[in-house]
């Protein structure tokens, strides 16, 4: 069994894993091949299968297929029960383009993914047909189940289920064959269609109104004027005849109006209002309706007041939770480590329960990290002889404490859409050997921070301020840092293989012995950068400023 589905046009897949080749500079072996971006035709390469088919509605349809492409799995949300490293699921990607659409709309390519890895030309041609055919299959099964009652009876034996299925198929076939015989009884909101394109559901509306249309030689097969079966000897068609009414219903007598009343309307006595009888039932109904309306209004006001009171109570509870968590963070010493950890995770839960309080939680945790972790001294002012101010600092003596690492983990896995205008401020902080893998540090302030030997694999550093930061021996492989501020950063022996450093500010940075293999440095600022013994194999240096 193979799975076929449609993919978005902004997806990025990976090619097969390349063979392991010894790297003289060291480093890990690559787990994935080069990127295959749907929106970047330069990354496609030559297709494995190319077919062109002439169609009636779409013109010439072109299908391009690439085999053995797989997505890069980074989260265990759907693989929580899978032990070991995340699997590599390869498949065939098909790009379908047509000359025009029947409706005249915008013609966009369609990307399909199949779980098979050895698709040939015949299979690639069937992929678009299978994708379009699924709508008819879904509507057919819905018609069989909901309208014709395929799954409604409780049958006791498989033989009975087979016979019932054949009856349902016969009824569905009869509805499809009766399309040219019925009238289109469409609803006002439905579009009229040709008889040959009527759906079985529309045919079912007019199926009971089918009459004999043929040679006109039908004769009744039963005596009397009741309902009898009509049989046509020439064409072999039969139907039931509706009995006619034996006699017409008598018409109502005409209304007699006296001429005297029309000529002299003033002579009639006006009816007194006091003489009218009160309709007490209607009066009671009106009073009951007014009482019910008043009850609804008062109930709504009471609910609104209760809701406001609950909101005030909830805000008070959130304030108490925040105060207690901050008090736990204020406890110092190794004896209160568990209390500090409880306060950190209590603040995380508070930010999750109350998104509007997340900026306050971020500010509190950032202040805790800056106040607990060792401080890094201010950088030496840069001169002509010292282009890399961060290189004069000594690395931190030890890795971050347990509570500091817990605060960094909570900051890295927050919901960034609730940050508002608050930024993580960890400037001039010693975070050597910190574990920031897959952390979201978008827009964070890490200026003059010490990140020596820090694990930044999978971290999101978009628009992050890393000016004068020390990133010696840090692991930043294949990360997105478009527009990052790395001015004066200390990146000695940093692993930046395949990094996206488009428009990055690397002025006065120290990249001695850095691995920049396949790095994209397009339009980056490389003014006074130290690239001594740096590996720039296959790096993109177009438009750089030096």
DSSP class per residue in 390-427 = GGGSPPPSSPPPHHHHHHHHHHHTS-GGG-TT---B-T
* Whether the Cβ atoms of residue 378 and residue 480 lie closer than 8 Å to each other: no
Provide the b/e sequence for 182-206 (b: ≥16 CB within 10 Å). Answer: bebeeeeeeeeeeeeebebebbbeb
* Rg of the chain on CA atoms, in Å: 39
Q: Rounded to an integer, what distance in angstroms lies between the CA atom of residue 213 and that of residue 181?
A: 8
- Please indicate, yes or no, if residue 434 is contained in any of the structural domains: no
| CA dist list (Å): 407 to 266, 466, 470, 502 | 96, 20, 21, 30
- pLDDT by residue for the chain (546 residues), tens digit each? 788 888 999 999 999 877 766 666 766 777 788 899 999 999 999 999 999 989 888 889 999 999 999 998 888 888 888 888 888 889 999 999 999 988 888 889 999 999 888 888 888 888 888 888 888 888 888 888 988 889 989 888 999 999 999 999 999 998 888 888 888 888 888 888 888 888 888 888 888 777 655 445 555 555 554 444 555 544 444 554 444 444 444 555 554 444 444 444 444 455 554 555 567 888 888 888 999 999 899 899 888 888 888 888 888 888 888 889 889 888 888 888 899 999 999 999 988 888 888 999 999 999 999 988 888 765 555 444 444 444 444 556 678 889 999 999 999 999 888 888 888 999 889 988 888 888 888 888 888 888 888 888 778 887 788 877 787 777 666 554 555 667 777 787 787 777 777 888 888 888 888 888 888 888 888 888 888 888 888 888 888 887
- Please indicate, yes or no, if residue 35 is contained in any of the structural domains: yes
Q: Are residues 168 and 115 in the same domain?
A: no
Q: Rounded to an integer, what distance in angstroms lies between the CA atom of residue 504 and that of residue 508?
A: 12
- Please indicate, yes or no, if residue 278 is contained in any of the structural domains: no
Rounded to 5°, angle at Cα 498 from 37 and 21 = 105
Extract the tokens encoding 37. 């971006």
H helix runs in 472-537, sequence order: none
- Among 122, 147, 172, give the residue marking a domain's end: 147
Q: Are residues 165 and 140 in the same domain?
A: no
* Whether the Cβ atoms of residue 63 and residue 95 lie closer than 8 Å to each other: yes
Q: Which pLDDT score is estimated for 383?
A: 47
Q: What is the DSSP string of 112-152?
A: EEES-S---HHHHHHHHHHHHHHHHHHHHHHIIIIIS-SSS
Q: Are residues 111 and 177 in the same domain?
A: no
- Among 169, 186, 209, give the residue marking a domain's end: 209
Extract the tokens encoding 60. 């010439």
Q: Are residues 128 and 51 in the same domain?
A: yes
Please compute, for residue 42, the number of CA atoms within 13 A of its CA located in the half-sphere on the CB side: 0
Q: Are residues 53 and 166 in the same domain?
A: no
- Which residue reads 């930046």 in tokens? 496
Q: Which pLDDT score is estimated for 64?
A: 93
Q: Are residues 95 and 128 in the same domain?
A: yes
Residues 6+ apart with CB under 8 A from 248: none
- Please indicate, yes or no, if residue 374 is contained in any of the structural domains: no
Q: Rounded to an integer, what distance in angstroms lies between the CA atom of residue 390 and that of residue 491?
A: 9
DSSP-based three-state secondary structure for 336: helix
- Please indicate, yes or no, if residue 246 is contained in any of the structural domains: no
Confidence (pTM):
0.42
Rounded to 5°, angle at Cα 45 from 41 and 50 = 95
> Residue 71: which of 16, 1, 9, 3 has the closest Cα?
16
* Whether the Cβ atoms of residue 438 and residue 418 lie closer than 8 Å to each other: no
Extract the tokens encoding 284. 């009671």
Q: Which pLDDT score is estimated for 208?
A: 78
Tell me, rounded to whole angstroms, the distance of Cα 19 from its chain centroid.
35
Q: Are residues 134 and 23 in the same domain?
A: yes
* Whether the Cβ atoms of residue 125 and residue 63 lie closer than 8 Å to each other: yes
Q: Which pLDDT score is estimated for 246?
A: 43
Determine the longest span between alpha carbons in the chain, in angstroms: 125
The continuous run of DSSP H or E covering 314 comes out as: helix 280-329
Q: Which pLDDT score is estimated for 306?
A: 87
- Please indicate, yes or no, if residue 31 is contained in any of the structural domains: yes
Q: Which pLDDT score is estimated for 230?
A: 53
- Please indicate, yes or no, if residue 184 is contained in any of the structural domains: yes
* Whether the Cβ atoms of residue 526 and residue 505 lie closer than 8 Å to each other: no
Q: Rounded to an integer, what distance in angstroms lies between the CA atom of residue 60 and that of residue 418?
A: 48
> In this predicted model, what pLDDT tens digit does every residue of 50-71 receive, in sequence order?
999 898 888 899 999 999 999 9
Provide long-range contacts, Cβ within 8 A and 24+ apart, for 176-183.
176/200, 176/203, 178/203, 178/207, 178/210, 179/203, 181/210, 181/213, 182/206, 182/207, 182/209, 182/210, 183/209
Provide the b/e sequence for 378-400 (b: ≥16 CB within 10 Å). Answer: ebeebeeeebbbbbebebbeebb
> Residue 451: which of 465, 430, 466 has the closest Cα?
430
> In this predicted model, what pLDDT tens digit does every residue of 260-272 receive, in sequence order?
444 444 444 555 5
- Please indicate, yes or no, if residue 11 is contained in any of the structural domains: yes
Q: Are residues 103 and 189 in the same domain?
A: no
Q: Rounded to an integer, what distance in angstroms lies between the CA atom of residue 72 and that of residue 14?
A: 7
Residues 6+ apart with CB under 8 A from 544: 521, 522, 523, 524, 525, 526
DSSP 69: E
Tally of CB atoms within 10 A around 216: 9
Number of domains in the chain: 2
Domain that includes residue 184, residue range: 161-209
Residues 6+ apart with CB under 8 A from 153: 164
Extract the tokens encoding 406. 């817990």
Q: Are residues 105 and 174 in the same domain?
A: no
Q: Are residues 64 and 93 in the same domain?
A: yes
Q: Are residues 66 and 194 in the same domain?
A: no
Handedness of CA 187, 191, 197, 201 (dihedral sign): negative
Q: Are residues 67 and 133 in the same domain?
A: yes
Q: Which pLDDT score is estimated for 159?
A: 93
Q: Rounded to an integer, what distance in angstroms lies between the CA atom of residue 169 and that of residue 175?
A: 10
């Amino acid at each position: 069994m193979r799975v076929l589905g449609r993919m978005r046009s902004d997806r990025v897949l990976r090619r097969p894993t390349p063979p392991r080749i010894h790297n003289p500079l060291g480093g890990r072996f690559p787990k994935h091949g080069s990127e295959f971006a749907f929106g970047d035709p330069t990354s496609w390469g030559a297709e494995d299968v190319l077919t062109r088919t002439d169609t009636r509605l779409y013109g010439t349809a072109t299908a391009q297929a690439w085999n053995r492409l797989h997505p890069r799995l980074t989260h265990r949300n759907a693989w929580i029960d899978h032990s070991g490293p995340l699997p590599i699921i390869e498949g065939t990607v098909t790009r379908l383009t047509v000359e025009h659409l029947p409706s005249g709309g915008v013609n966009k390519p369609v990307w399909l993914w199949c779980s098979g890895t050895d698709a040939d030309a015949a299979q690639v041609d069937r992929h678009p047909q299978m994708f379009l055919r699924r709508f008819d299959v879904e509507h057919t099964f819905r018609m069989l189940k909901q309208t014709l009652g395929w799954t409604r009876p409780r049958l006791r034996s498989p033989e009975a289920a087979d016979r019932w299925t054949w009856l349902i198929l016969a009824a569905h076939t009869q509805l499809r064959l009766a399309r040219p015989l019925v009238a289109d009884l469409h609803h006002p909101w439905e579009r009229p269609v040709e008889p040959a394109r009527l759906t079985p559901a529309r045919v079912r509306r007019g199926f009971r109104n089918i009459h004999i249309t043929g040679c006109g030689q039908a004769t009744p097969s039963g005596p009397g004027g009741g309902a009898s079966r009509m049989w046509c000897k020439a064409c072999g068609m039969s139907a039931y005849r509706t009995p006619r009414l034996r006699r017409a219903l008598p018409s109502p007598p005409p209304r007699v109006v006296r001429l005297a009343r029309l000529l002299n309307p003033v002579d009639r006595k006006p009816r007194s209002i006091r003489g009218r009888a009160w309709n007490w039932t209607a009066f009671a109904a009106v009073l009951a309706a007014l009482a019910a309306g008043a009850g609804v209004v008062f109930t709504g006001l009471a609910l609104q007041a209760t809701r406001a009171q609950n909101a005030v109570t909830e805000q008070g509870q959130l304030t108490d939770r925040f105060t207690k968590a901050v008090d736990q963070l204020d406890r110092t010493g190794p004896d209160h480590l568990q209390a500090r950890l409880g306060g950190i995770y209590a603040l995380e839960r508070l930010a999750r329960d109350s998104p509007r309080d997340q900026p306050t939680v971020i500010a509190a945790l950032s202040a805790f990290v800056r106040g607990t972790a060792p401080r890094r001294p201010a950088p030496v002012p840069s001169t002509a002889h010292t282009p890399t101010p961060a290189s004069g600092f000594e690395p931190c003596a030890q890795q971050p404490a347990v509570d500091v690492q817990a605060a960094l983990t909570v900051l890295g896995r927050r919901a960034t859409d609730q940050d508002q205008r608050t930024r993580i401020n960890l400037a001039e902080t010693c975070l050597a050997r910190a574990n920031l893998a897959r952390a979201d540090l978008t827009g964070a302030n890490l200026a003059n921070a010490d990140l020596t030997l820090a694990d930044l694999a999978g971290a999101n550093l978009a628009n992050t301020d890393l000016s004068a930061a020390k990133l010696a021996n840090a692991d930043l492989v294949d990360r997105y840092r478009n527009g990052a501020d790395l001015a004066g950063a200390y990146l000695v022996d940093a692993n930046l293989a395949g990094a996206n450093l488009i428009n990055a500010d690397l002025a006065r940075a120290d990249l001695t012995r850095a691995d920049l293999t396949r790095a994209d440095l397009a339009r980056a600022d490389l003014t006074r950068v130290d690239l001594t013994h740096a590996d720039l194999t296959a790096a993109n240096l177009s438009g750089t400023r030096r």
